[in-house]
Amino acid sequence: MRKHILFAVFTVFSSLALAQYPMGNIQVNNNFTATLNFTDSVKLTIFGNNPPTSNGHFKYYDVFQTGRSCIIRGNDPAAPLTSINVKLANGNIWFGTIKYGDSTKVFYSFVEPEAKRPTTTPLTNAEAAAPAASPQESEARIKERMDSVMAEPAEYSSIGAIENGLVFQVANIKNDDSYTYFKLIVSNNTGSDYNLDGAYFKVVEGKRKGFKRNEAKIEQRVQIVHQSTVKVIKAYSTEQLGFVIQRFTGGKNGTLTIQLRELKGTRNPNIEIPGSKMLNVQVFE
């Protein structure tokens, strides 16, 4: 009976789709979740074999849908290879398989192919140049990549600062061609809420230990182009902060400083990231 119900659901699921695209194979495990990003909002995700459990979760895979992304976590190493189908708000379906495996890949980007257009003559260089993305498309891409960084497990544990009972940890840093993405974890171990008023990113190039601030060779503020909506870290709680800045390539002897400022307070940490560390961060594929 269960097989007939699943077949009926999949039949309706497929018949309403405008187009269907393959995703290939996706692997997850206890240590590495998979973030699937699409070009439209995710409406529905269906697994072929993933029965529910008594505690409200699922036996093999848990899935969290948010906007254009779905994040999948593997629960059981004994999970069988099974199908996964993702329906988008525009009616299109992406299909593939998923299994519990050893892959460390955490970000999957699925872009619907454009319709093919016939060409009759070779294009000139100007004609062949791809049009610049619209501001809306660029903003959506930045947000999708920020979401993927926020979903990744912490990569760094030794970059941060402690300020009057608060622990500020830079957990993840990732680059693409134009921007650098940061995930910060803030643990408030005090009885007072921490209200974030603002953040500043500054590159100090060539500064050596013992130099005064005005003796640095180069000191430049870096623009924040996107940040997460979290503004309050409640007493005795932990939150994640996300920031995207314009990419700035400095030298190994430089420093990137992150300063967070508290609203109506003096807990304003300075987090220094060595230039040598910034030169070796991960890059989006």
Q: Is residue 97 domain-shared with residue 167, that is, in the same domain? A: no
Looking at the fold, whether 176 and 235 belong to one and the same domain comes out as yes
Q: What is the pLDDT of residue 125?
A: 52
Which pLDDT score, from 0 to 100, does residue 263 have?
93
86, 201: one domain: no
With b meaning 16 or more CB within 10 Å and e meaning fewer, what string describes 160-179?
Answer: bbebeebebbbbbbbeeeeb
Section 233-238 average pLDDT: 94
User: How confident is the prediction for the chain on average, in pLDDT?
Assistant: 81
Q: Give the residue among 230, 208, 231 at the shortest CA–CA distance from 218.
A: 208
Domain boundary pick from 88, 112, 136 = 112
Q: How far is 17 from 89, CA to CA, in rounded Å? A: 10
How much is the pLDDT for 131?
56
Residue 2 confidence (pLDDT):
45
Same-domain status, 269 and 169 = yes
Same domain (yes/no): 24, 105: yes
The helix or strand, by DSSP H or E, that contains position 15, with its residue range, turns out to be helix 2-15
pLDDT in tens, 23-47: 889 998 877 778 888 888 888 899 9
How much is the pLDDT for 133?
58
SS3 of 11, please?
helix
Number of domains in the chain: 2
Residue 165 and residue 276 in one domain: yes
Confidence at residue 113, expressed as pLDDT on a 0 to 100 scale: 64
Question: What percent of the chain shows pLDDT beyond 90?
Answer: 44
- Tokens 């979903």 — which residue? 151
User: What's the CATH code of the domain at 256?
Assistant: 2.60.40
pLDDT in tens, 131-148: 555 666 688 899 999 999
Residue 218 exposure: Cα atoms within 13 Å on the Cβ side = 14
For residue range 183-208, what is the model confidence (pLDDT) as tens digits? 999 999 999 999 999 999 988 876 44
Position 116 pLDDT exceeds 60? no
Q: Confirm whether 76 is domain-assigned.
A: yes
Residue type, 207: K
End residue of a domain, out of 81, 112, 143 = 112
What was the pLDDT predicted at 6?
45
Does residue 46 sit within a domain? yes
Position 171 in a domain: yes
**How do residues 79-103 score in pLDDT, each as one tens digit?**
999 999 999 888 889 999 999 988 8
Instruction: Output the six-digit token pair for 217.
Output: 């060779």
The domain containing residue 272 runs over which residues?
160-283
Instruction: Classify residue 128: in a domain, yes or no.
Output: no
**Six token digits for residue 180:** 């650098």
pLDDT grade for 4, boundaries at 50, 70 and 90? very low
Domain stop point among 112, 145, 176: 112
Alpha helical stretches, state H, 91-182:
125-128, 135-151
Tokens of 163: 């300020």
